[in-house]
Amino acid sequence: MRLSEQNKIVHALEPQDHQAGVDSDSVNTENYGHVAFIIQFGELTGNAVLKVYSGATDGTKTTAETFNYRATSTDLKNTGGDTLGSETTSAALTLTASTYEDRMIVVEMDTAEFTDGQNFITLEFSSDASELFVSSVAVLSDARYQQSTPPAAVA
């Protein structure tokens, strides 16, 4: 079976400079057991903070969730740029240029860990950086109802 048939892949944040701070599109995890956000960084000047929120409706950020993530330690275009490090947990990840510029992180969460009734997940990037080129896609897996076209996850 193909990746796109087993998982729902959705855009979460378009690639551009989000230095003014930005919220990703909310992803509805109602029909899925797991969500992974693949986040790629380009230029990053200063620090920004990443938080993950759950809410009962699209765009609502009710509860700051603790999340697991893994990051590359080498620039994406270099050898080893596709190798993720050890899993770490955070509720508010400070994104420093020396650690995350031209790198990738994968944020993963099991939907059973979210606050009950809060199926919509939104990434929040603070406005603390003066340059923050970032993009993200979400990959939802463990669909409650297997089908060749997984159920929609964005409004």
Q: Which domain holds residue 131?
A: 3-143
Q: Model-level pTM? A: 0.92
Is 134 part of a structural domain of the chain?
yes
Is 152 part of a structural domain of the chain?
no
Q: How far apart are CA 41 and CA 30, in angstroms?
A: 28
Model pLDDT for residues 59-104, shown as the tens digit of each residue: 999 999 999 999 999 999 999 999 999 999 999 999 999 999 999 9
Domain count within the chain: 1
Is 150 part of a structural domain of the chain?
no
Is 135 part of a structural domain of the chain?
yes
Please report the DSSP string for 36-59 in residue order. Answer: EEEEEEEEEES-EEEEEEEESSTT
Is 16 part of a structural domain of the chain?
yes
CATH at residue 57 = 2.60.120
Is 92 part of a structural domain of the chain?
yes
Per-residue pLDDT of the chain (155 residues; tens, 9 = 90+): 677 778 899 999 999 999 999 999 999 999 999 999 999 999 999 999 999 999 999 999 999 999 999 999 999 999 999 999 999 999 999 999 999 999 999 999 999 989 889 999 999 999 999 999 999 999 999 887 666 666 667 76
